[in-house]
Structure 1
Amino acid sequence: MAARPLAALAAIGLAAASVASMPAPAAAHPFGDPQTVAITLDEQRPEVVHVRWRVGGPDDLTLLGVSLGVLPQDRIMLDGAVDSRYTDPATIASSERFTAYLLRQITVSAGGRPCAGAVEPPMALDLKGATVDYTCPGPVGTVTVGVRMLTDLNPAYRTLATGPGGQRAVYETGKDSHDWTLSGEPAADGTGPGRSAVIQIAAVLGGVLVAAAAAVAVARRVRGRRVRTRKAATNG
């Protein structure tokens, strides 16, 4: 029965991606492309958990850089638009403030004991994201992963998360902690790819589709206004 909702989810994702690829005004907002997290267990070291985070859009990454004091405040326009530049990812990735932010906003614990995190030097932060390696007190089967990335900037931000065996979850304000089965079979208590997780992810991607469509509509109205203005000037 899970195949049908997953197929529908894939269709929504493709539609959202195609619409979001159209030109749209640059502005950081929590209803754009969602950020993602991938959680895996190290194949050679059963006590190490890898968490890879990827930002949703370059404007959100620039907004984070400004909030951390890594980028200048004037990158945020008076109307809320964000001036993103191609050098921003490298500037943010090399900052110790960003490293500290990752370790503060993403946490892993096993058996109620925290796992120590170490950030791998990010390469192409905007494209490949950043990976944090968490070393737990011993080999892990189930871990609790907390994700609060960007929700301190705007509580509406969400994170789509995936884990071994098709496990999925949506992190959001008020639901920033989730248990993941990293070895053995996923538990039957909702940590697997259950209906609720599928519905949540579909809702997030559906919101992306609506937001992207609205942005395209605004862009078309602006373009039409400019064309009419040019025609009026020519006729005059």
Structure 2
Amino acid sequence: MKIHARTLAGALLVCVLAGWATPAAAHPFGPPSTARIEADGSHVTLSWLPAEDDWVALGQSLGAFEDPSTGTVSTELTGEQKLERSTALRDYLLEKITVAQAGRPCESRLEELRALLADGARFVFDCRSPVTEVDVTVAALTDLNTAYRTMLVANTATPGQTLFTEAQTTQRLTFSATGATGIPAQTTAVVAAAVVLVGAGAFTVLRTRRRTRTMS
């Protein structure tokens, strides 16, 4: 784990020990959580990264941490590690963050939660067909406080930036046909043009050689 991540993990444990891990301790009125989405064929990947204190509030609400007011808090694991091992957290994330294609949910997989504070939660969605248009739902945290928001960034989709709120937890994204394969349209056009030019050049050389042989 990187030094920065270790620092955050230690700070997370301190918050739990101090009894700060409550929804009121988070910052729903601060900058929104961030997320990034990409499409490749029929697969969609999404990474969701809230602030560390928001992870604390979420973990407390799901029972990932011991309650210091009712008993002893174990220090064998950091707060981050307790979150990463929480089945309740995994179930919550899979319920609150989804992708659907043509009204049908895409099969979702949540990758192993590792370096959670630095890398966030990483999802893979397997859809039935190559992805061009999907409905993305990001409803995490809004059940703790309706002021929470998530800003989703998509490099190959329209809109390129989408804000998810308690009032609008589902948004439709349209991916470019080339965005679904990861090959930019400009690159495809350049390659096609190059193939045409090479083919034309080869044809010209072949005709020249034939003429030379005929004349000799």
CA distance in 1, matches of 2:117, 2:32: 13
Give the TM-score normalised by the residue count of structure 2: 0.63
1:164–1:181 CA contact under 8 A, matched in 2: no
2:151–2:164 CA contact under 8 A, matched in 1: yes
Instruction: Say whether 1:122 aligns with 2:113.
Output: yes
Higher Rg of the two aligned structures: 2
| Structure 1 portions without partners, runs of 5+ | 1-25, 76-85, 187-236
Q: Which residues of 2 match residues 31-110 of structure 1 at below 5 A?
A: 31-42=29-40, 46-55=41-50, 57-74=51-68, 87-110=78-101
Q: What's 1:219 paired with? A: none
2:156–2:176 CA contact under 8 A, matched in 1: no
1:131–1:175 Cα change, 3 Å: same
CA distance in 1, matches of 2:154, 2:26: 27
CA distance in 1, matches of 2:30, 2:79: 19
CA distance in 1, matches of 2:117, 2:61: 17
Q: What's 1:16 paired with? A: none
Q: What's 1:199 paired with? A: none
1:144–1:180 CA contact under 8 A, matched in 2: yes
CA distance in 1, matches of 2:168, 2:28: 16
Alpha-carbon distance, 1:34 to partner: 2.0
Q: Which of 155, 160, 165 matches 2:151? A: 160
Give the TM-score normalised by the residue count of structure 1: 0.58
Instruction: Say whether 1:183 aligns with 2:176.
Output: yes
* 3-state SS of paired residue (1:66): helix
CA distance in 2, matches of 1:29, 1:74: 22
What letter corresponds to residue 162 of structure 2 in structure 1?
A
Alpha-carbon distance, 1:185 to partner: 7.9
CA deviations 1:95-124 (Å, max 9, x no partner) are 111111111001100111110101110221
Q: What's 1:10 paired with? A: none
| Structure 2 portions without partners, runs of 5+ | 1-19, 70-76, 180-216
The runs of at least 4 aligned residues of structure 1 exceeding 6 Å deviation read none
1:28–1:59 CA contact under 8 A, matched in 2: yes
CA distance in 2, matches of 1:74, 1:176: 33
1:164–1:182 CA contact under 8 A, matched in 2: no
Q: What's 2:9 paired with? A: none
1:151–1:99 Cα change, 3 Å: same
Alpha-carbon distance, 1:73 to partner: 3.0
